[in-house]
Amino acid sequence: MTNRFVAYAGAVLLLQGLAGCSDEKKPGNETTGPVTAASEPVNGAAEIADRKLVVAFGDSLYAGYGVLPQESFPARLEKALAARGVAATVRNAGVSGDTTSAGLRRLAFTLDGLDRTPDLVMVNLGGNDMLRGIDPAETRANLTAICAELQRRGIPILLTGMVAAPNMGRDYAEPFNAIYADLAKRYDAALYPFFLDGVVTNRALMLPDGVHPNPQGIEAIVEKVTPIVAGALEP
């Protein structure tokens, strides 16, 4: 594990507390972030109604930090699902800088602002908590509350997890890394254990900041995640 994430650790040391992935708004001055369509809307209300609705709820890794809107993870996921014959609209509800606490604060507003209940909510939060050294117990509590609210509303969940960088130390990494699998089991959620798996250690797939994937990196992630999303959307 340590060798696999050496590059990740270096990036975290350089970027901890900086803008981009960790530019959370100050308390009392939060923005909820719009829930935007990942691609051009389809024509016809009937066609829209027949499509599955997926909400990508997370931080800059979903929001599309450093890439064009059409290159973001939600946009490319929607295209990949269509290529598999899955008619789905993937809404981008990513906000750069969100910690799990910020995500929890805006969850109800985000869901209530949709025109219908999603068929799936994907959750990718926790990376900024790790960058800030937030106690994993707090991260777990916030993600538990997010999953509990989604379950209460009858919305299926897919967690795309994060992994603590080696420089955080074993005492931090062990409780942090266990969060996503534990919650997936508890809430019967689909799980992709590490969103940046196979990408973060490949410079050709990352932006110069070493933390966010470039368009090629996003495509590599989408290729792995799409089958899991498609399976979660099956009746």
217-to-63, 99, 146, 234 alpha-carbon distances in Å: 14, 22, 27, 27
From 59, 72, 129, 212, active-site residue: 212
Contact status, residue 94 vs residue 58, Cβ threshold 8 Å: yes
Look up 212 and say whether it is catalytic.
yes
Burial 208-234 (b: 16+ CB within 10 A, else e): eebbbbbbebbbbbbeebbeebbebbe
Here the tokens at position 115 are 């025109």
Angle, CA 24 vertex, CA 183 and CA 54 arms, to 5°: 50
Number of residues that make up the chain = 235
Query: Any idea which residue has 């990352």 for tokens?
Result: 206
Here the tokens at position 100 are 């799990």
Query: Cβ-count burial of 74 within 10 angstroms (0-12 exposed, 13-18 middle, 19+ buried)?
Result: buried
From 39, 60, 72, 101, active-site residue: 60
Query: Any idea which residue has 């064009």 for tokens?
Result: 68
Here the tokens at position 45 are 């209300």
From 23, 182, 197, 209, active-site residue: 209
Residues annotated as catalytic (active site), given as ranges:
60, 209, 212
